[in-house]
Structure 1
Amino acid sequence: MKQESCRERLNGELKDRLRDIRTLWRLYQKHPDASHPELGKFEEYGLGLDYVAKGTFQDQKRGYFRWQLSWGGPADEFRFFMDENLEAVEIEYWFLDWNDGASKTLSGDAFKLLDEIFQHLKDMGVVDAERAKALSS
């Protein structure tokens, strides 16, 4: 049986991720130490946030922040493209599997949710710290 392509799987994977993130974010907002029985804590969801400087990858024209949720095959992540004030101007979801990948630009409620989370990380100092770390190496 042939594996579906990343493009064919993209919308389902994004829908599942957004459902989990929305659940954890609401729980976190009520109480930062709250834990979901299956998903854990918001702060522990995913692998981490880092800054990917312009030119890190071949033909990469601009830097972005990456919230990497999983790694390997498959992997998925959100990419936050910023303006000069570190305000999100575009947020993409990427679903990647060996030698295949697909992405979708977020809009509407999905964009608002991820932007709200990014603003929270910015307020906590995580965004500035990750950007400084990447640009100093």
Structure 2
Amino acid sequence: VTEAFPPMSVTVRLEDEIDISRGDMICRPHNTPAAAQDIEALVCWMDETRPLTVGAKYAIKHTTRTARAIVKGLQYRLDVNTLHRDETATQLGLNDIGRIRLRTTVPLMADEYRRNRTTGGFIIIDEATNRTVAAGMIIEAA
């Protein structure tokens, strides 16, 4: 038996009048994430039809925001068996893990994944097919 819960709404009253809306972030002053367009991340590539290549454009879904992003660089592909970093790699194929550099069209409020999983994680979406092609963890946001 499933009970239906009435819809809930949350109202936050601020001392000052600030223009905020759905999807905006409220945080403590000393715990503010970086507003970053340049992101270093580890990603796991999940698309079997097209590999990740430098210069490719995708949508990035981070917290409640979606933005467009371009792959600016592939630093290395990680061999999961030996943990060897292949710095000569030019693409990531299905199930490959690699460190990449992304540039987003709008700043994302991001933390390092090790500090905050919610603001440190994201997915990459192929805009042509609307399929999730990668999951990522932010290493550095600048």
Structure with more contact order per residue of length (Cα contacts < 8 Å, sep ≥ 6): 2
Structure with max Cα Rg: 2
Do the structures match in fold with TM over 0.5?
no
Give TM-score scaled by structure 2 length: 0.25
Q: Which has the higher helix share?
A: 1
Give TM-score scaled by structure 1 length: 0.25
